[in-house]
Amino acid sequence: MAVDPELVKILVCPLCKTPVTPTADEKGLRCGTCRRVYPVRDDIPIMLVDEAHIEA
């Protein structure tokens, strides 16, 4: 994933405002509180609740 690490440091979940972290496969950003995973497309994080899926 080519998302700038400095950007990841300031991104938070738009729903619960918890900082997000890259997923193991680096195809998304995961919220540790509500377990939503926001996709990364063309190196751009899509931080929309409607685009996220909840990880089990």
Residue 30: predicted pLDDT = 97
CATH value at residue 12? 2.20.25.10
Q: Who's near 8: CB < 8 A, 6+ residues apart? A: 20, 21, 22, 29, 45
Residue 2: predicted pLDDT = 74
Residue 11: predicted pLDDT = 97
Domain with 17 in it? 5-54
What is the residue-level pLDDT of the chain in tens, covering all 56 positions? 578 999 999 999 999 999 999 999 989 999 999 999 999 999 999 999 999 999 98
Task: Give pTM, 2 decimals.
Answer: 0.91
Residue 3: predicted pLDDT = 87
Strands 20-22 and 53-54: unpaired
Alpha-carbon separation of residue 55 from 5, 8, 19, 51 (angstroms): 22, 19, 16, 13
Number of domains composing the chain: 1
